[in-house]
Amino acid sequence: MTFLALDIGGTKLAVRAERAGQTWERIEPWPRAGVESDLALLRDVLAAVPSGVVRAGVSAAPTVARDGTVTAWPNRPSWYGVDLRRTIEEAIGAPVLFGDDGTLAAVAEAEASDCADLVYLGLGTGVGGGVVSDGRLIRGAGGTAGELGHLPMDPAGPPCRCGRNGCLQALLSPEALSRRTGLLQEKLATSGEVSVFVAEVLARVVVLLAELIQPSRIHLGGGFGVALPGLPALVEERSRAWGRLGHRLPVVATAVFGAHASLAGAMVLARTGGTGLRQSR
Ligand SMILES: [Zn+2]
C-alpha cells in the first residue's frame, strides 16, 4: 500500500510517497509560467509516483471547496476554478483528501511531539496556523478556526490580502519587512534585525495564546520561520517580558518537521483517511 502526500504551497510543490517504510520524494519550485505550466508540472511529478497509491492527502495553500475546485488563492488568481481533485485523482487513480496547510502541520507536529496542547505557526509567503488543544484539533463553528495569520494585531498596520489592516501576516509579509528594514526581500531571512522584530510580534501572539488556550508548545515552521536566526529563543525571551507571575509560558521551538510540516501533515491525512482532521472548507 502506497500513501501519497502533496504540499501545494506558494513557492513549491512537494510530493512524497511512502510504502512499507520506503520513501519517494520530489520537491519542485514554482510558480512557473502560469497555471497551465504549473498543472503540467503537477501531472509530470504525479506520473512518476510509485504505483499502488491507495489514498492521497493534500496540504493546500489555496482554499479548496468540497467539490475539489480552487475557490481562493490571493497570490495566484489564475488558479480559481481549477478542479484540483479531478486533476490529482486522474493522475494517481486513487481518492484525494484536502486539508488546510497550517492545520495539517499542527496535527503532524502534535503527533510527532506526543503533545496534546500545541499551536503551529508557519511563516512563509503568508502565515498559516493550526491549534491542537486537549488532544483535539480546534475547528470552530465554521470549521476554519486557527487562521492565525489573520489575527488582528494592529489596526494601523499594513493592509492584509484579506482586506483588513494589520493582520499578523500583513505585519510579517516580506513586503512589510522589507519596507521596515530597507533590506531586499531575499536578504530578510538572514537578518538579525528582522528576527528581533518578528520575535516582538510573535511574543504578543504567544502571550495571547497562553491566556486563551494555554498551549504547552508553540512550533514555528515555514521556510521563513525556520530560516530566521535564533527566532524561537528570541520569541521566548520577548514573551517573558509580557508574562504574568505564576503563569508558565509555552515552550517555543522550531517545528519537528522544519519547513516540511505541512507535507508531514498531508501524509497523516493520507494514512488516517482524515480521522479527527478538519476537512477543507
Ligand atoms: Zn488578514
How many angstroms separate the alpha carbon of residue 150 from the centre of ligand 1? 4
Is the Cα torsion angle 105, 111, 115, 116 positive or negative in sign? positive
How many angstroms separate the alpha carbon of residue 281 from the centre of ligand 1? 17
How many angstroms separate the alpha carbon of residue 65 from the centre of ligand 1? 20
Residue 184 CA to chain centroid, in angstroms? 24
How many angstroms separate the alpha carbon of residue 148 from the centre of ligand 1? 9
In this predicted structure, what is the pLDDT of residue 138? 92
**Does 195 lie in the same domain as 90?**
no
Contact predicate 61/8, CB 8 Å? yes
33 has pLDDT over 90:
no
**Does 63 lie in the same domain as 50?**
yes
- Judge whether 279 lies within some domain: no
**Does 124 lie in the same domain as 76?**
no
Coil/strand/helix, residue 214:
coil
**Does 109 lie in the same domain as 90?**
no
For residues 215 and 53, give the distance between their C-alpha atoms in angstroms, rounded to a whole number. 36
Number of domains in the chain: 2
How many angstroms separate the alpha carbon of residue 149 from the centre of ligand 1? 7
How many angstroms separate the alpha carbon of residue 125 from the centre of ligand 1? 13
Q: At what angle do helices 192-213 and 231-240 cross, to 10 degrees?
A: 50
User: pLDDT over 70 for what percent of the chain?
Assistant: 98
281 has pLDDT over 70:
no
**Does 132 lie in the same domain as 96?**
no
How many angstroms separate the alpha carbon of residue 151 from the centre of ligand 1? 7
In this predicted structure, what is the pLDDT of residue 234? 97
Looking up cell 489514498 gives 55
Domain that holds residue 196: 103-259
- Virtual CA dihedral for 154, 156, 161, 162, nearest 10 degrees? 70
| CATH for 193 | 3.30.420.40
How many angstroms separate the alpha carbon of residue 162 from the centre of ligand 1? 4
**Does 87 lie in the same domain as 34?**
yes
How many angstroms separate the alpha carbon of residue 205 from the centre of ligand 1? 15
Q: Which three cell numbers stand for residue 68?
A: 475539489
Closest CA to 18 of 41, 52, 47: 52
Contact predicate 122/261, CB 8 Å? yes
Judge if the upstream peptide bond of residue 31 is cis by omega within 30 degrees of 0: yes
Residue pLDDT, tens place only, 179-220: 999 998 889 988 889 999 999 999 999 999 999 999 999 999
How many angstroms separate the alpha carbon of residue 106 from the centre of ligand 1? 20
- Judge whether 281 lies within some domain: no
**Does 227 lie in the same domain as 129?**
yes
- Judge whether 21 lies within some domain: yes
Contact predicate 101/122, CB 8 Å? yes
How many angstroms separate the alpha carbon of residue 126 from the centre of ligand 1? 10
Residues 6+ apart with CB under 8 A from 140: 146
How many angstroms separate the alpha carbon of residue 99 from the centre of ligand 1? 20
Residue pLDDT, tens place only, 128-147: 999 999 999 998 888 889 99
What's the mean pLDDT when you consider all of the chain?
A: 92
- Give how far Cα 83 sits from Cα of 64, 198, 224, Å: 9, 36, 29
**Does 173 lie in the same domain as 243?**
yes
How many angstroms separate the alpha carbon of residue 152 from the centre of ligand 1? 7
How many angstroms separate the alpha carbon of residue 17 from the centre of ligand 1? 34
How many angstroms separate the alpha carbon of residue 74 from the centre of ligand 1? 11
- Give how far Cα 211 sits from Cα of 103, 205, 215, 243, Å: 21, 10, 9, 9
